[in-house]
Amino acid sequence: MSRVWVFALITAVTTTWVTVPAQASAEEPGGRDVIAQMFGWNWRSIGHECQATLGKLGYGAVQTSPPEEHSLLPEKGFPWWQSYSAVSHKLESRFGTRDELASMVRSCHESGVRVYIDAVINNMSATTGCGIGSAGTPYCHYWYPAVPYTDRDFHHCGTPGDAVEDLHDRAQVFNCQSFNGADVATEDDSVRDRIAAYLNDLLSLGVDGFRVDSAKYIPPDDLAAIEQRLTRPAYVYQEVIYGWGEAVQPEEYLATGAVMDLRYAGTLSQIFRHGRLAWLRTFSSALPSDKTVVFVANHDTEHNGSTLTYADGERYTLANAFMLAWPYGRPKVLSGYAFSTYDEPSPSDPLGRTIDATCGDGHWLCEHAWPGIGAMVAFHQQVQGQPVVDWSDNGANLIAFGRGTDGYLILNGEDSPATDRAYHTSLPPGRYCDVLHGVVQSGTCTGPAYEIDNTGLLHADVPAQSGIALHTGAVVAE
């Protein structure tokens, strides 16, 4: 978990291609590759949502919150980040029981949706004293009998509070505490064995992969040694936050899995907030496309406001639509809950246990199914492997581009409508449903539909802060 982010506005980002050795534990996603991050959802609700919407919309995987036993912090209102304050490897958390987790995995697999677990393996609890965890296990800051970990299994680097003080010091990054979490000595073989045992337990329940939290604070060689202990291949993607001039960089982790690139999210948000959408013409980031997981926002950036969030309304929807239409990275869509303070957890009962999610109740946002986001998952699938063609822009915030002969997207980020315009596309002639605003039902579109003529021209007016998305999987009757 990371709470401090620094982004620079970059108007043109180029991709640096790096050759890395094949990683046995990194599954290559095929076909349906969009990930839904169901942040703060309990296991029952994720299982239901896999069958009700995620599978039907075409999502390939779901990322859960951490399932391991964690601290309980009622004095702080059971904040969302207590789930990242690990106490043991028991699968009993605010989100449900071991049996409920296993049932969720089965439900998602029945819907063709993989399950990726947010794995907290760099550190244990962030509380300095002692307490009782979510499964009833007693613990202290350097004593976790259920793992078991004792004082010798942790780093003590000698800085005040054993804290990372200088991110330019490689030894501090790997051997001091980040965010007060007791820093596990991942270079020790017995520690590696215990971490791998936790991950293998999850694999035994059918889990398909892991998002490695705070991977930046774990040496790549240690991660490789842990992955070599896994009992079967799993898709691995790692949180490695870029910092200019810092001692540890995201590129170092390409051999141990995919990397979540915060440069993409930060730059994309800055462009949609303060820049010009025309700058997106060559948009990418610094990591190889097939080795990075990209997103508009995640749980950290949403809570600290460093990227676009659901509160940005149409801009947020348009940014997600762009991400799903653009050929870079593996997209991840955040689906969470409304909040008014940084620490606020997902809707919970008086004991801090997350309640079942109900879309549209004013609390659960369900962005994964929003018009303009959910339907763009099918657009993303339809255009996979197709090049960007027919780019046009007005030099400011009206852009349009195609993906081969299979898709075409217009985004109008201006504060006024774009009227009386014709757009050249490579789509076959026909009538198409605008999937940003409707779906195809019984051969007709529930929203607006547009005609592509025999020359590939599209005549359309586009409202302010809106767009049009057409693809060959959403053709409707004349």
- pLDDT tens, 306-328? 999 999 999 999 999 999 999 99
Q: Are 141 and 245 found together in one domain? A: yes
Q: Are 266 and 132 found together in one domain? A: yes
Centre a 10 Å sphere on the Cβ of residue 360 and count the other Cβ atoms it contains.
9
- Region 416-440: mean pLDDT is 97
Question: In this predicted structure, what is the pLDDT of residue 377?
Answer: 98
- Region 153-172: mean pLDDT is 96
User: Distances from the Cα of 372 to the Cαs of 323, 338, 415, in angstroms?
Assistant: 12, 19, 18
Q: Are 231 and 344 found together in one domain? A: yes
CATH number for the domain spanning 72: value is 3.20.20.80
CATH number for the domain spanning 396: value is 2.60.40.1180
Q: How confident is the model at residue 21 (pLDDT cuts 50, 70, 90)?
A: very low
- The DSSP result for 380-393, as a single string, is HHHTTTPPEEEEEE
pLDDT digits (tens, 9 = 90+) for 218-256: 999 999 999 999 999 999 999 999 999 999 999 999 999
Q: Which one has a higher pLDDT value, 13 or 442? A: 442
Tell me, yes or no, if 414 is annotated catalytic: no
Q: Which long-range contacts (CB under 8 A, 24 or more apart) does 397-400 make?
A: 397/276, 397/277, 397/278, 398/277, 398/462, 399/277, 399/278, 399/280, 399/281
Q: Are 122 and 163 found together in one domain? A: yes
Question: In this predicted structure, what is the pLDDT of residue 14?
Answer: 33
From 153, 162, 213, 367, active-site residue: 213
Q: Quick check: 268 and 277 in contact, CB under 8 A?
A: no
Q: Are 289 and 418 found together in one domain? A: no
Q: Are 127 and 180 found together in one domain? A: yes
- Region 158-181: mean pLDDT is 96
Q: How many helices, marked H, and strands, marked E, lie in the chain? A: 10, 21
Question: In this predicted structure, what is the pLDDT of residue 27?
Answer: 52
State the Cα–Cα distance between residues 401 and 31, nearest whole angstrom: 22
Q: Are 346 and 452 found together in one domain? A: no
Question: In this predicted structure, what is the pLDDT of residue 29?
Answer: 62
State the Cα–Cα distance between residues 475 and 382, nearest whole angstrom: 12
Residue 13 belongs to a domain: no
Q: Quick check: 248 and 170 in contact, CB under 8 A?
A: yes
- Region 10-27: mean pLDDT is 36
Q: How confident is the model at residue 20 (pLDDT cuts 50, 70, 90)?
A: very low
- Region 120-134: mean pLDDT is 93
Q: Are 211 and 346 found together in one domain? A: yes
433 lies in which domain range? 388-476
Residue 10 scores a pLDDT above 80: no
What's the pTM?
0.94
Q: Are 59 and 79 found together in one domain? A: yes
Q: Quick check: 316 and 309 in contact, CB under 8 A?
A: yes
Tell me, yes or no, if 213 is annotated catalytic: yes
pLDDT digits (tens, 9 = 90+) for 77-93: 999 999 999 999 999 99
Q: Which of 372, 288, 299, 269 is nearest to 330 (CA)?
A: 288
pLDDT digits (tens, 9 = 90+) for 28-76: 566 899 999 999 999 999 999 999 999 999 999 999 999 999 999 999 9
Total domain count for the chain? 2
From 92, 183, 239, 302, active-site residue: 239
Which of these three, 356, 382, 408, is where a domain ends? 382
- Region 207-216: mean pLDDT is 98
Find how far residue 341's CA is from the centre of its chain: 21
pLDDT digits (tens, 9 = 90+) for 372-397: 999 999 999 999 999 999 999 999 99
Residue 17 scores a pLDDT above 90: no
Q: Are 334 and 445 found together in one domain? A: no
Residue 251 belongs to a domain: yes
Which of these three, 382, 412, 438, is where a domain ends? 382
State the Cα–Cα distance between residues 293 and 235, nearest whole angstrom: 12
Q: Quick check: 302 and 342 in contact, CB under 8 A?
A: no
Residue 15 belongs to a domain: no
Q: Are 54 and 104 found together in one domain? A: yes
- Region 445-463: mean pLDDT is 97
Which of these three, 382, 409, 424, is where a domain ends? 382
Q: Quick check: 286 and 251 in contact, CB under 8 A?
A: yes
Q: How confident is the model at residue 19 (pLDDT cuts 50, 70, 90)?
A: very low
Give the sheet arrangement for strand 466-471, strand by strand: 388-393, 398-403, 407-412, 466-471
Q: Quick check: 473 and 378 in contact, CB under 8 A?
A: yes
Q: Quick check: 326 and 403 in contact, CB under 8 A?
A: no
Q: Quick check: 115 and 206 in contact, CB under 8 A?
A: yes
Q: Are 393 and 283 found together in one domain? A: no
What tokens appear for 469 in the block?
A: 């998305």
What average pLDDT does the chain have?
Answer: 93
Task: State the amino acid at position 12 in one-letter form.
Answer: A
Residue 446 belongs to a domain: yes
Question: In this predicted structure, what is the pLDDT of residue 42?
Answer: 98
